[in-house]
Structure 1
Amino acid sequence: MRLHRLRITAFGPFSGTEEIDFDALSDAGLFLVQGRTGAGKTSILDAVCFALYGQVPGARNAAKGLRSDHAAPGTGPSVVLETTIRGRRLRITRSPAWERPKLRGTGTTAEHAKVILEELEDGTWVGLTTRLDEAGDLVSRLLGMTAVQFCQVALLPQGEFAGFLRAGADERRRVLERLFATEVFTQVEKWLADRRAASGREAAELGAAASSIAGRIAETTGAPSPLGERPAVPAPRRPEPAPEPAADIEALPAWAAELAAGHADVRAVTAELRQEVKTQLEAARRALEDARALTDRQRGHADALARRDALRAHAEEKSRMASRLYAAERAGRAVPLVHAVQARHAEARRARRWADEKRAEAGALLPPNASEDVLVKAERARRDEIAKLERARGEVARLRQVEDERAALARELAELEPREARLAATLAELPGIVAARRTELEAANIAAAGRPGAEAAVQEAGRRLDAAHRRDQLEHRLAEAEAGYRSAVDAAQAAKERVLDLRQVRLDGMASVLAGELRDGEPCRVCGSTEHPDPGAPSGDIPDEAEIERAQAEADEAQEARERAGTALEGLRSERDHALETAGEADAETIAGELEEAELALQAVNARAAEAERLEGALLRDEQELENVREEHEAVSRDLAANRARDPDLAVEQARLSAELDEARGEDATIEARIARLGREAGVLAATIEALRESDRAAAELAAARENARAAAEAEGFRTPEEVLDAALRDEEQGALRDKIRRLDNEEAAVRDRLEDPALVKAAAEPAPDLPALEAALAAAEAAHTGAASAADRARLRRDRLADLRAELGEAVGAWRPAAERHEVAERLAGLTSGKHAANRHAMSLSAYVLAARLEQVVAAANERLSRMSGGRYALIHTTEKAAGDRTRGAGGLGLRIADAWTGMERDPVTLSGGESFITSLSLALGLADVVTAEAGGTEIGTLFVDEGFGTLDEETLDEVMDVLDGLRDGGRAVGVVSHVAELRARIPAQLRVTKDRAGSTAMVTV
């Protein structure tokens, strides 16, 4: 992968649009990304990662929003990256989610994240996708690595690897798990652990099932359990049930077979005893049943004799009941006609009374004895007059409506006339008021138009005044920093020259030093000879290694002080230059006077602007009032004209209707009253007519009913209708008499049949049996049979139950055996992969073993560069031993040690100095990048970045590190060094400079 061009808009600290030409930087091979702290150097790397994966590295990905706080409100954030991956030229345009101002109204609305992925084909950009998931999947497949792996390989966050170098095994494991795909091995560990637990539960459950069946066999037979006593209350629940010993479960079937053989003999003996007792019971039961049957027959014959004597006393009563029934049957045929006479008589009396009442009511309208024809004609005359008056109801309603309408017009006229006069007066005054208000507003607007310029003048004067104060302060600090820097340079140079002088003196006197170590008979360490004919003599004081090391340490401290002073001086100069650009050469007092004048001018303009706003509102209200008054006056004038034209027409109609209705109502108060009176009179006459007709009809029906009742009574043998009613009986009474006669007849027949039964006659001649003695014999036989049957049933049930349980036990043990074997295999494999089995000598889990192998590859790749950067002194060693205090089981194999070739000792990485830690962690980062790249499929990273940490190196080590980084350019790779160290600016001419100010950061490429 090689980067070509990056365009950033409103992203991170960059408020505007910044374009970075990576092709120009890549031509140099090695380039520097430099800028002050917080300027946005790392944000450029964030933009590259965001364009590729839609996220930024580490904790910054969780920060709220990626849009620049310095950007204009409507400017949307975006990143455009042109890159080549596996020979394909791609352009990726991404924008994160952000809140933009609403186009209408106030507030904001959410803009979702977007992406456009394009590919250059034949000089034309062709769109591939606009979906976030498809774009991320395509980039990940082409690069062959996740976002975490890419950030570790292409961005080389060296500071994180300093922590990785000193971390414990658990922390290293978490870092490596993010970079290497070890999920499958972790899943294997989990699957085997789950399998061990599942097979253990299965074996324990199956063993418990077999043990439970054995307990039921012991309970059934009364024998002791072969597995010992079980607690009545279950023990507290455990994660996995404890299985029974395998030998005990294997012996259960033989134990059950032995119990079954003993219970088969008991079953045979109890079956024979039960058959003997059953025969005796059946004989006793038959004897008792025969005796009870004889007693019942003797009792039946005696009861029949007693009932026959009682029935003979009811013969006379039976005859009377039969005669009463015959008379009731004859009367029942004439009773309906007699009852009809009674009903007709009551109906005739009611109709006659009703006719008298109605004739009395009609006496006020007609003569008392008026005939029916006269009554009919009077009713018809009143109905006809009502029909004529009904047609006049509409004219009454119309007259009332006309009267109401004229009253409303009078009220409206009294209101409209004064209102019209007031509106006309107001309409004459308002045009002059509106014109005067408009003239005042135009003058205020002209004065307020200068507010933007006045505000800009105040802001510019305030910014220049702040810059002037800061410029004056920085001038003093800059003079002090320059003096301090010169002193630091002189001290560093003197310390460095002293180290060189000491080394030269020691080299010059090395012959005398070696001569002082010679011993007669011992070989020389230079030439190997045992003879020393002319050893060198010391020419003066020769410094030893300890003195040189102390001088070197002093030189290192002086160099670090020089670099710190240089960095501080450069920062002050940059701040001073920026302040000078803003404030110019004018002094602070002059600029303060300009600011005061600008503020006074702004206050005056603001006052006129406030007055213009007030006048504009007043003018708007006056214009609106004028328009409203004009519209209201027109409406009132229209309503007044319509009112005056309508009232005369209504007056004429009112007079006509009043005359017509006076004539129609006559002497009555109103038309409604006349209609109601005539309706009541017609109703009285109609009711009288109906009552007279009903009375005549009821009298005729009564006479006919009396004749029919007399004829029917004589036909049935009764002298008068009253005798018919006396002889009549209700149906319920007749039914009761018939039931009594039928019961007496049935009972007489039944008594005769029982007295003629041969069995009863024979039983009456025999002696009575002794029932208590026979019942006692049967009870004794039943008790004996119950005991024998119970014993036989218990033996049979015990045998059958034992056979069923033996079958269940055999199946349970058969199911337990393969489960126990599977659990044994699963337990061994799970223990091996988790590092908890004795066969795992390193006590290392499978995933930790894989990560240890990856770490071993990383260490091998890192040592190639660490050897060069440390001058062959240091090498990383991968160890499988646990660190002190690390008690996590199965997490071994991730230890790191440092081998020091100068001392021949190994030590903990925490003992390294700052510079040593930097070169070691940088070697780890580069080694890890190589291994991750190979792990991801060998995707070539054409552009990579090394982030910070160079300030801890001395000049010689920095040279070695730069040689290693320069070697990374092999194969056409471009390496970007992210640092603010001043010395790197002279070493690396190709630079990407990032600068910051109040309005946001900017980026510029210099080659």
Structure 2
Amino acid sequence: MRLHTLTVRAFGPFANTETVDFDRLGAGGLFLIHGPTGAGKTSVLDAVCFALYGALPGARGRDRSPKSDHAPLDRRPEVELECTVRGRRIRVVRNPRWERPKKRGAGTLVENQKVTVQEFSEDRWEPVTTRPDEAGQFIGDLVGLTLDQFCQIVLLPQGDFARFLRASAEERRTSLERIFNTRVFRDLEEWFAGHAGGLRREVDTADRRVREAAGRIAETGRSTAPEDTDVLWAWASELTAMTTAVADEIAPVVDAAADEREAASRALAEARSLDERRNRLTRSRTRHAELMELSEWRARIDTGLEAAERAASVLPALRDRDARRTSLDKAALVREDALALVSHAPPVTAEALRAAEQDRRAALARAEHLRADALRLRERREAITRFDRYLDKVDDDLKGVRGRIADLPVRIGELREHLAATRDRAGRAEAAEAALVAAEQRRDAVAEHDRLVAALARAEEAHREAVDAAQTAREHALSLRERRITHMAAELAAELAAGTPCAVCGAVEHPAPALPSAEGLVTAEAERAAQAAADAAATRRSTAQETVAALRERVAAARDRSEGRTLDDAVAEVAELTRVRDEARAAAGEVRRVEEDLEGLVDRLDRARAREADLAGQRSETAAHRADAAEDCERLAASLAEALGADTDVDERVRRAREEADLLAAAVAAVEEHDRALRERDAADAAVTEALTDAGFTDEAGVRAAALGERERRDLRARARVYDDDLAAVRAALADPELVSVAGSAPPDLSALKAAADEAALAADRAVTRLGLWRERSARLAALRADLRVRLDECGPVWHRYRVAEGMRALTAGTAKDNSDGVRLSAYVLAARLEQVVAAANDRLFTMSDGRYELRYTVDKAAGDGRARSAGGLGIRVVDAWTGSERDPATLSGGETFFSSLALALGLGDVASAEAGGADIDTLFVDEGFGTLDEDTLEEVLDVLDRLRDGGRAVGVVSHVADLRHRITTRLRVIKTAAGSRVEHTG
């Protein structure tokens, strides 16, 4: 994979559009990305990751949106990347999710992430997809790396690998799982564990089902199940056979008891039948006597029903006549009220009233026709009002537009002058930068001169004090030496003893030894100490003298570099040049904004002039429409005034005509209804007279006296029917041969027969129940024994599967006897990957450390983690070839840690690249850490990085170390400003 160009806009610290030309940077193989802290060096790499994967690496992708805070709120953030992967050149344009201001009103709207992927084919760009999910799948398949793997292989973050180098085995396992995607082996371990656990539960379930079946057999057979599973089948078979034999022995006894119960039941039934017939005969005789006493009452019912039937034929005519009379009275009242509301001359007939109504309806129709004219008049007046309002608005808009047309040329001229001045200030940026560097050097020289003058004064004072101290010490040493020489005799005399020869004359008698003076003797130790102090003071004097001489030289040199400035002048000069430089830089950033503002003003002027012409045309057209509407309005108003006459408006005229027509229509209906009611009343009177004659009644009173209600007639008929039915039933019972045959028989002894039948039935039921219990128990035991056979047969395969699954679980979990190292499957795979990484890292570490250091993969607990078993031996030790000893990576110095972690990162990148399918990585980035290296080690590390260029590979070093700018000539400088960062190519 080779990167070609990267373009960012409103992304991260970059407010404007910035382009990184990786082809130009990678032409020499090794290039440097540098800039101050916080300028955005890492943001260049973040933009590459975002273009490919739509996300930022690590925690940066979760903290905030990549939209630049320096860019205007309405500027769309965008990243565009061109690269070649596996021989295919692709372009990815991606916009992150961001909030933009609404085009109308306050507030913001959320724009979702967008992406466009294109591929260069046959001299043109062909579209691939515009969907984020499809773009992620396409790039993931093409690159062959996840975002984490890409960051580990292509970006090589040194801080992560320094932590990886010193990490514990468990922490190292987590990192390797993320890079090599070996989670599938951990999932396999968990699957085997879960599968074995599930089969263990199946075994427990199968065993529990066998014990449950045996328990049900024991409960049914009133027995106890054996604990040994192997004898369960024989025990169940024996218990079933014994139960069946007992049931067969009880069956003959049950048959005999059933015969005795049947005979007793027949005797009781015959006695009950005889007693029941005797009772029926007695009840029938008593009921017949009662019915004969009610025969006269039965005859009166028939007479009353006959008279009621005749009266019922007359009652409808009477009710109809009464209703017609009531309707006539109501119709007369309504007729009088309706005629009172209309003014009409006699004769008052329906035909005359109907003719008057038709006249009023014709007037109403004529009034309704006036509504259309009134409505159009109202619409014309409203239209004139709208035209007036619109003309006022157009006049206001024209006034505003013409004001802008007059103001914009002036503003455009001012902005052009400002743009020229801004460009002039921006052109002085390099000169101001050079002048500022020189001024800062003079300021530093002045500050150093003042500091050195003060140090020189102190050194001269120290020199004077050292001279005085040296002179005093020398005089003191000479004084002590002179005193010792003077009192040498007394010093020798002090050593004399009686009988001991004198060291000077040899005499053994000492009559008058010399005595010391009042000051006392000076010892040899005191003399030597004084001389040593004098020598030391002389040395300090010489040192002070040398210091004064050196400081005087440095003061002179600093005075020359300061060029005669005072500190205040130098500081003021630096401040002034800093202001000039900052203004020039700000002007450089302001040029594009002013250009955009100028383009915007020119565009606004063009739009304003076009708007003026449009508004003038609209005003002319609207004025013509208003004149037409006013003319139409005057014509309609005159026509309506003439048609309405005394009425105020059309609605009043329509309402009055409708009310008069409705009153006349009501009067016509009332007169017609009164005439109809009168005719119906006369017909009803004639019908009543005819009905009385036909029914045989002389007057209405007789009819009303004989009349019965329908409910009363139904009740009398029902009572008569009940009487007749009872009499017929009693007579039929008295003639029944069965009742006649028992007229002289004696009553049976039912109590004795009932007791004998109950005793026989109870004995038979007990026998049947006992037989049923034994047969049911036998059938139940047979079914349970078959269920036990099934469950015993099911246990075998379950136990076999469980033993196989448990063996695989123990093997992958590292607890099996065959797994002598006790290493889990996932840890074993990771250990193999780590061993490959260490081997690849040592190829480069040997060169970086000048053959001194080598990494060694270990599996013991001494590797730095007491959990070596669970981690699978993921330890790393450092072998020191100079001492032959092994060291913990935590004991390495900062520079040693850097190149060791760099070698580890490069090795891990090689192995992970091969793991991902052997994709070629033609562009690499190494991020920070070079500041911990000495000069020789830095050269060796750069040699290793330089060799990474083999095969056309480009290597980018991300660092702010100043020394690298002299060693790497091709550079990308990231410049930080208050208006956002920008990039600059060098070399």
Task: State the TM-score bracket (shorter-chain normalisation).
Answer: 0.5 to 0.7
Alignment-derived partner of residue 294 in structure 1: 274
Please report how far the alpha carbon of residue 37 of structure 1 lies from its aligned counterpart in structure 2 after TM superposition.
2.3
- Name 1:198's counterpart in structure 2: 198
State the partner residue of 2:598: none
Q: Deviations over 1:560-617 (max 9, x none)?
A: xxxxxxxxxxxxx9xxxxxx999988959999xx9xxxxxxxxxxxxxxxxxxxxxxx
Match of residue 248 from structure 2: 268
Match of 2:591 in 1: none
Q: CA deviation at 1:222?
A: 2.5
CA distance in structure 2 between the aligned counterparts of 1:27 and 1:39, rounded to whole angstroms: 25
For 1:40, the equivalent position in structure 2 comes to 40
| Residue 612 (structure 1) aligns with | none
1:869 paired to 2:869: no
- The structure-2 alpha-carbon separation of the partners of 1:286 and 1:981, relative to structure 1 and needing over 3 Å to count, comes to same
Change (3 A) 1:454 1:823: same
More moved, 974-983 vs 690-699: 690-699
| Distance in 2 separating the partners of 1:652 and 1:780 | 117
The residue correspondences of 1:747-896 to structure 2 (distance < 5 A) are 747=729, 749-754=731-736, 757=737, 763=742, 767-882=746-861, 886-887=866-867, 890-896=870-876
Equivalence for 1:557: none
Deviation at 1:339, TM superposition (A): 6.9
Aligned to 2:899: 919
- List gaps (5 residues or longer) in structure 2: 338-344, 371-394, 453-561, 563-568, 584-618, 648-655
Aligned partners of 1:855 and 1:802: how far apart in 2?
65
Deviates more, 1:99-108 or 1:997-1006: 99-108
Give the distance between the partners of 1:290 and 1:180, measured in 2 at CA.
101
Equivalent residues of 1:209, 1:812 under 8 A apart: yes
Aligned match of 1:171? 171
Q: For the residues of structure 2 that align with 1:653 and 1:84, how far apart are their CA atoms?
A: 90
Alignment of 1:395-406 (within 5 A): none
The 8 Å contact of residues 32 and 977 in structure 1, kept in 2 or not, is answered as yes
**Alpha-carbon distance, 1:963 to partner:** 2.7
- What's the offset of the Cα at 1:767? 4.6
TM-score (norm 1): 0.64
Deviates more, 1:10-19 or 1:162-171: 10-19
CA displacement at 1:127 relative to structure 2: 4.2
Moved more, 109-118 or 791-800: 109-118
CA distance in structure 2 between the aligned counterparts of 1:352 and 1:132, rounded to whole angstroms: 90
Structure 1 residues 774 and 965: CA distance shift in structure 2, 3 A? same
Assess, with a 3 A threshold, how the Cα gap between structure 1 residues 484 and 942 changes in structure 2: closer, same or farther: farther
Distance 2:78 2:658 in 1: 90
Instruction: Give the alignment of 1:44-123 within 5 angstroms.
Output: 44-71=44-71, 75-100=75-100, 109-121=109-121, 123=123
- Corresponding position of 1:146: 146
Aligned residue identity for 1:947: D
Over residues 450-496 of structure 1, what are the superposed CA-to-partner deviations in whole Å (9 max), with x where a residue is unaligned? 799899999999999x99999988864576689999xxxxxxxxxxx
Which residue of the partner structure matches residue 975 of structure 1?
Answer: 955
Deviations along 1:705-746, whole A, 9 cap, x unmatched? 66656xx68xxxxx9999999999985587368536634652
Contact 1:347 1:698 in 2 (8 A): no
Amino acid at match of 2:857: H
Q: CA deviation at 1:869?
A: 1.9
Contact 1:3–1:943, Cα closer than 8 Å, also in 2 = yes
Aligned residue runs from structure 1 range 412-427, under 5 A: none
Q: Give the match for residue 948 of structure 1.
A: 928
Tell me, what secondary structure is at the counterpart of 1:58? coil
Q: Is the alpha carbon distance of 1:70 and 1:784 closer, same or farther for their aligned partners in structure 2, counting shifts above 3 Å?
A: same
Structure 1, unpaired ranges of 5+: 228-247, 362-376, 403-430, 486-572, 574-579, 595-627, 658-669, 714-718
d(CA) in 1 for partners of 2:126, 2:161 = 40
Label 1:582 to 1:350 Cα distance change in 2 as closer, same or farther (>3 A): same
For 1:58 and 1:745, locate their aligned partners in 2 and report how far apart those are by CA, in whole Å. 110
Q: Deviations over 1:776-824 (max 9, x none)?
A: 2222222222322222222122111111111112112222221222122
Corresponding residue SS for 1:997: coil
1:90 and 1:119 in contact (8 A); partners too:
yes
Q: Assess, with a 3 A threshold, how the Cα gap between structure 1 residues 952 and 786 changes in structure 2: closer, same or farther.
A: same
Q: Distance in 1 between matches of 2:46 and 2:330?
A: 114
TM-score (norm 2): 0.65
How far apart, in 2, do the equivalents of 1:298 and 1:803 lie? 57
1:901 partnered with 2:881: yes
Partner of 1:239: none
1:428-577 matches, within 5 Å, as 476-477=443-444
Contact 2:221/2:239 (<8 A) preserved: yes
Q: CA RMSD in A?
A: 5.9
Residues 66 and 478 from structure 1, CA distance in 2 versus in 1: closer, same or farther, beyond 3 angstroms?
farther
Residue number in structure 1 paired with 2:976: 996
Shift of 1:78: 3.6
Deviates more, 1:847-856 or 1:389-398: 389-398
Which aligned pairs between 1:386-401 and structure 2 lie closer than 5 A?
387=355, 391=359
1:948 counterpart letter in structure 2: E
- Which piece of structure 1 moves more, 156-165 or 471-480? 471-480
Q: What is the CA distance between 1:172 and its match in structure 2?
A: 1.4
| Cα pair distance change 1:282/1:958, threshold 3 Å | same
SS in 2 for 1:842: coil
Contact kept? 2:356, 2:664, Cα under 8 Å: no
Q: Deviations over 1:614-672 (max 9, x none)?
A: xxxxxxxxxxxxxx9xx99xx99x999999999999799979x9xxxxxxxxxxxx999
Aligned-pair identity (%)? 42
For the 8 Å contact 1:25–1:991, the answer to whether it is kept is yes
Shift of 1:682: 10
After superposition, residues 375-390 of structure 1 pair within 5 angstroms as 379=347, 384=352, 387=355
Distance in 1, matches of 2:33 and 2:276, equals: 128
Contact 2:349 2:671 in 1 (8 A): no
Summarize the Cα distance change of 1:301–1:642 in structure 2 as closer, same or farther, 3 Å threshold. closer
Match of 2:23 in 1: 23
Q: CA deviation at 1:63?
A: 4.0
* 1-structure distance, mates of 2:905, 2:937: 17
Kindly state the Cα deviation for residue 829 of structure 1 after the two structures are TM-superposed: 1.1
Q: Distance in 2 between matches of 1:639 and 1:332?
A: 88
> What displacement does 1:163 show?
0.5
| Secondary structure class of the residue paired with 1:39 | coil
Residues 350 and 251 of structure 1: CA distance in aligned 2, closer, same or farther (over 3 Å):
closer
Distance 1:453 1:110, change over 3 A: farther
2:967 to 987, 995, 1003: 987
1:211 counterpart residue number: 211
Tell me the distance in 1 between the aligned counterparts of 2:198 and 2:886: 46
Q: Give the letter for the 2:884 counterpart.
A: G
Partner amino acid, structure 2, of 1:265: A
C-alpha distance in structure 2 between counterparts of 1:159 and 1:356, whole Å:
114
> How much has 1:196 moved relative to structure 2?
1.6
**Which residue in 1 is equivalent to 2:717?**
735
Q: 1:963 aligns with which of 943, 952, 976?
A: 943
Letter aligned with residue 827 of structure 1: E
Q: Cα–Cα, structure 1 residues 175 and 483, in superposed 2: closer, same or farther, change >3 Å?
A: farther
In structure 2, the CA distance between the partners of 1:722 and 1:106, relative to structure 1 (3 Å rule), is: closer
Residue 906 to residue 807, structure 1, CA distance change in 2 (3 Å): same
Cα distance, 1:7 vs structure 2:
3.8
Q: Give deviations 1:494-522, integer Å, cap 9, x for gaps.
A: xxxxxxxxxxxxxxxxxxxxxxxxxxxxx
**Preserved contact between residue 328 and residue 674 of structure 2 (Cα < 8 Å):** no
**Rounded Cα–Cα distance in structure 2 between residues aligned with 1:726 and 1:653:** 70
SS where residue 65 of structure 2 aligns? coil
